[in-house]
Amino acid sequence: MSTGIPPPSFSSSPLESTDAGQRWEGEYMAWRPPGANANTSSANSNGSTAPPDIVNSAGASPHPSVLPNGKMSLAGISIRAFFLGVVLGISLIATIILLVWHPTPLWRLPFFISSLCLFHFLEFWVTAQYNTRDAEVSAFLLTANGAAYNIAHGSAMLECFIWHFLLAPKEGAGGGSWYSAIIVFFGLAAMIVGQIVRTVAMATAGSNFNHVVQARYREGHVLVTGGVYSLLRHPSYFGFFWWGLGSQLVMQNVVCFIGSRIQREERFLVAFFGDDYISYKSRTPVGIPFIA
């Protein structure tokens, strides 16, 4: 008996076939990278045409980018996330032990390592959540920033070890002075504020954020001026600067500045957006000392 309701039809268009809101037999359609399926349609057991992403999902070849050694390698992402989680747990436990049960100023070293683990995990997670097309293995930033970035962190830990273990007097976990405790407090506050601002900035910019300074205009790239960008011109750099400054205050090390990268990026932004960016630049500060 006819119900008067026409049977459901499905488009074979790639845009519609990857829409997670559509369903087939009560299930969400599986997402597949563009070009992953060679066939555009297939018949189900009832003879009707089903979305290719559902019918071929079991036998479809994965996109090359998610295979081992690909830019979005699932194996590479999982091993890095696992590594960061393990190191984060171990370093947090070490921080508590050296701060509470065996007080020593060297608690700063595992604390810094745990902070780095959280920072790098959030770099990838926010990218995957709000800018999925750029969620590559390099988004963890473990090696993408070059040798100088890792050398700087290694030097900071070495300086902390030399000062608090070899040179400074052994006066407990706090460093033996009230001003040392105040410096640590302000350092922790700067790290928290910096991390929050950077994370919010990346989420707000979404697909317009990139870890690599863009020398060419990319289709769909827009100038983001809302949210935290209405208060700061480069909130992600602001966040990283104050996070880095705070971490060095906690370890009581020397601070390095990152002004040259901002100035280089602004030259490209002026070329991309012209007067719109110049106007935006004139009404929003950077929030980093010595950088206008």
- The fold adopted by the segment(s) 78-283 is Four Helix Bundle (Hemerythrin (Met), subunit A) (1.20.120)
Residue 205 — very low, low, confident or very high, per pLDDT cuts 50/70/90?
Answer: very high
Strand, coil or helix: 177: coil
Tell whether the model's pLDDT for residue 140 goes beyond 60. Answer: yes
The DSSP 8-state label assigned to residue 208 in this structure reads G
Q: Which of 77, 91, 155 is nearest to 121 (CA)?
A: 77
DSSP string, 104-138: -GGGHHHHHHHHHHHHHHHHHHHHHHH-GGG--GG
Between 108 and 178, name the one with better pLDDT. Answer: 108
Give the distance from CA 52 to its chain's centroid: 33
Are the beta carbons of 235 and 229 closer than 8 angstroms?
yes
Say if residue 129's pLDDT is above 60. yes
Q: Looking at residue 150, what is its pLDDT?
A: 87
pLDDT tens digits, one per residue of 83-99: 999 999 999 999 999 99
- CA–CA dist 35, 32 (Å, integer): 8
pLDDT exceeds cutoff 80 at 75: yes
The position carrying tokens 């960008």 is: 229
For 25-62, the pLDDT digits (tens) are 443 344 444 544 444 444 444 444 433 443 344 556 78
Average pLDDT of the chain is 79
CA–CA dist 128, 278 (Å, integer): 30
Distance (Å) of CA 243 to CA 71, 151, 183, 197, 256: 28, 17, 14, 10, 12
pLDDT at 279 over 60: yes
pLDDT at 80 over 90: yes
Question: What does the block give as tokens for 117?
Answer: 């683990």
101 or 213, greater pLDDT: 101
> Taking a C-beta distance cutoff of 8 angstroms, is the pair 217, 251 a contact?
no
**Of 46-55, 90-99, 128-137, 262-271, minimum mean pLDDT range:** 46-55
- Between 172 and 245, residue with greater pLDDT: 245
**Cα(44)–Cα(41) distance, integer angstroms:** 10
Angle at 67 between CA 148 and CA 65, to 5 degrees: 70
Angle at 96 between CA 164 and CA 198, to 5 degrees: 85
Q: Please tell me the distance from the alpha carbon of residue 91 to that of residue 99, in angstroms, as a whole number.
A: 12
With beta carbons less than 8 A apart as the criterion, state whether 199 and 239 touch.
Answer: yes
Model pTM score: 0.73
H or E, element range at 247:
helix 235-251
Q: What is the rounded distance in angstroms from the CA atom of residue 122 to the CA atom of residue 22?
A: 31
Q: State the Cα–Cα distance between residues 217 and 269, nearest whole angstrom.
A: 9
Domain residues of the chain, as ranges? 10-57, 78-283
Give the pLDDT confidence score for residue 261 in this predicted structure: 64
